[in-house]
A and B are shown apart, each in its own frame.
Chain A
């Protein structure tokens, strides 16, 4: 089954404790991205990757890091989480950069930073 998976689905942590949210897709997609969803703000892009070893900032990259060492994986790293990073995070992938292509979303990771 074609899908985007994320782990963990739920995470409660404390300020400053490094964490990684994993994202993996099995569709051989080139393009992957991370979004955060906050009430009243919709979804905003954090980082994206056009292919292996090619990443760039989205609209809200502060406090986050990413890497793309393999085509299928695109982990999101919070090196020193803060309470304002409490949010619902989605990973998405798309076959390429064509603007009419569908993006496939993972099930989301709900992060709480105390």
Chain B
């Protein structure tokens, strides 16, 4: 079975500081991993995805994530936080097996950016 664990349900950073949101996965097959962002009162928007090509994946709004198989991690980073980055972030793995395209989500990390 596949699963995703996000460490830290709430993360607070200062504007201009590094953003690091942690995600660890469990999968018996090579995983396809995603980061989604949810702004207040909106749906989920894809930030970036890992699909077994480059291990360092660049996404929108200056975010990137690195796939580390040895650590079973897919942490999300951004060098300099902006106020507009305040949102909830979800890591997800696409399920394997069966006729479904189900995403298995982590519990989410709420990012606050302080001025």
**A→B interface (CB under 8 Å):** 4, 31, 33, 35, 40-45, 48, 50, 56, 58-59, 90, 92, 94, 96-103, 105-108
**In the complex, B56 has a CB within 8 A of chain A:** no
Assuming the contacts A102-B49, A107-B43, asked whether A43 and B94 have C-beta atoms less than 8 A apart, the reply is no
**In the complex, B69 has a CB within 8 A of chain A:** no
**A to B contact number (C-beta, < 8 Å):** 68
Assuming the contacts A33-B101, A100-B32, A100-B49, asked whether A41 and B43 have C-beta atoms less than 8 A apart, the reply is no
A11: shortest Cβ distance to chain B, in Å? 15
Assuming the contacts A50-B99, A100-B49, asked whether A90 and B43 have C-beta atoms less than 8 A apart, the reply is yes
B13-21, B79-87, B104-112 - interface stretch: B104-112
Q: Which B residues are in CB contact (< 8 Å) with A33?
A: 101-102
9 inter-chain pairs at a CB distance below 8 angstroms, sorted by A residue, are: A31-B101, A42-B106, A48-B101, A99-B32, A99-B96, A105-B36, A105-B43, A107-B41, A108-B43
